Amino acid sequence: MLLLLLPFVPLVVICYCFRRCFCCCGKNDYTGRHVMITGGSSGIGLALAKLFVRRGANVTIVARNKEKLIAAKSELNECQTKSEQGRLFQAVYAVSVDLSQGVEAINAAVAQPISEIGQVDVLINNAGTASCGRFLDVDEKDFLRQMEINYLSSVYTTRSILPSMMQRRQGQVAFVSSMAGQVGLYGYSAYTPSKYALRGLAECVQMEVKPRNIKVSVVFPPDTDTPGFANENIAKPEATKRLSGSAGLFTSEQVAENIFTGLERNRYNIWVGLDGFFLSTLTCGMGPSKSFFESFPQVMLGGFLRFVALCYVSMFNSTVYQCEREENRL
Ligand SMILES: NC(=O)c1ccc[n+]([C@@H]2O[C@H](COP(=O)([O-])OP(=O)(O)OC[C@H]3O[C@@H](n4cnc5c(N)ncnc54)[C@H](OP(=O)(O)O)[C@@H]3O)[C@@H](O)[C@H]2O)c1
């Protein structure tokens, strides 16, 4: 059986390299643009905010905790470029608001940076939280809380910012989902649905805004070493650790670099690493494709990747059985 799969290996390598190396035409220039990053006070959001400031963008970060925002803002100030006279070229704003409170709360909170820097050109819906546990063990309130923070916060923020992009017929919106938004795993029953919901939202919104020249992306980060990930690990069942850990652990800088490159090139699906490539290619479904280099692997590798996925599912199931036995749960 393995011999039958050998012809696909060069195809995978070619497709992976094609996507990484040649899909580089028409890069966006973010100099002087207003980029708003929710959850920009920590982890992936903060690493991404630093990249945008270094590339000359004006950046507004949004989160709840004021101390963390002040600390993040001073880190971002360090990334600003200065003229010989010491003049700063970028503006950095930190805004405190609970995004799950709705559009009015967000409108009020972001009014000042918008009046000072101008309308938002790029919105990155990154704020999120994850807590794990077996379906029957998770606190019932957690299902609602993760839906509110991971999904509804993105709905509210996008509804706050999108109208001005629609008017100006330009802009870019990204939704940060997760690899757990592409596959359902043991222990993620409260988190995964909120990240799947973002995928559905992104697909609908992109179809509506495309005629007005607004670009939409959906991001699928793998396990990333952030304060949020450390927190998620506290109650993570052993089976979940083994399953999600199989894709490796990335730094927030690595993930931010991939997101930045994907946004710069207007990619719809933004993934990280080889597993991210496999999963995004396998789960592209009826989602849009922005270029030949994005579609080619999806068309060529669909059947082969389904076979690989079935092997993974079988491996995942035996890991679950093994953990259940080790914990005397069977
Ligand atoms: N780290 C991973 O392994 C991983 C993997 C896949 C996907 N992701 C996704 O990537 C995104 C960033 O993750 P991360 O690990 O970098 O998280 P993190 O370090 O915990 O940072 C989360 C950020 O979101 C903000 N936030 C949370 N709830 C908020 C709310 N209601 N209103 C406003 N801001 C809020 C937090 O600030 P405050 O708490 O001060 O509000 C913080 O700035 C999340 O959407 C996460 O689901 C992460």
* CATH number of residue 145's parent domain: 3.40.50.720
Give per-residue pLDDT as tens, 278-326.
999 999 999 998 888 889 999 999 999 999 999 999 999 999 999 999 9
The one-letter amino acid at 10: P
The residue to which tokens 């971002």 are assigned:
76
As a whole number of Å, the end-to-end CA separation of the chain is 33
Instruction: Please state, in angstroms and rounded to a whole number, the distance separating the CA atoms of residues 34 and 142.
Output: 34
pLDDT at 4: 58
Tell how far the Cα of 112 is from the centroid of ligand 1, in angstroms: 23
Instruction: Please state, in angstroms and rounded to a whole number, the distance separating the CA atoms of residues 106 and 120.
Output: 13
Give per-residue pLDDT as tens, 259-275.
999 999 999 999 999 99
6 is a domain residue: no
Active site residue 177: yes
Mean pLDDT of 71-82: 92
157 is a domain residue: yes
7 is a domain residue: no
Mean pLDDT of 101-120: 97
112 is a domain residue: yes
Give per-residue pLDDT as tens, 171-225.
999 999 999 999 999 999 999 999 999 999 999 999 999 999 999 999 999 999 9
Q: Whose CA is nearest to atom 44 of ligand 1?
A: 128
Compute φ and ψ for 103, nearest 5 degrees. -60, -40
Give the count of domains, the chain.
1
219 is a domain residue: yes
Output the six-digit token pair for 146. Answer: 């993760």
Instruction: Please state, in angstroms and rounded to a whole number, the distance separating the CA atoms of residues 195 and 173.
Output: 16
* Cβ of residue 226 lying under 6 Å from some atom of ligand 1: yes
pLDDT at 2: 55
Output the six-digit token pair for 161. Answer: 């910012």
pLDDT at 26: 77
Tell how far the Cα of 85 is from the centroid of ligand 1, in angstroms: 37
Contact 271, 280 (CB under 8 A): yes
**Ligand 1: which atom is nearest the Cα of residue 250?**
3
Active site residue 191: yes
Give per-residue pLDDT as tens, 123-181.
999 999 999 999 999 999 999 999 999 999 999 999 999 999 999 999 999 999 999 99
Tell how far the Cα of 330 is from the centroid of ligand 1, in angstroms: 35
56 is a domain residue: yes
**Residue 5 scores a pLDDT above 90:** no
Task: Provide the pairing of β-strand 214-220 with 224-225.
Answer: unpaired
Active site residue 50: no
317 is a domain residue: no
- For residue 160, the enclosing domain spans 28-303
318 is a domain residue: no
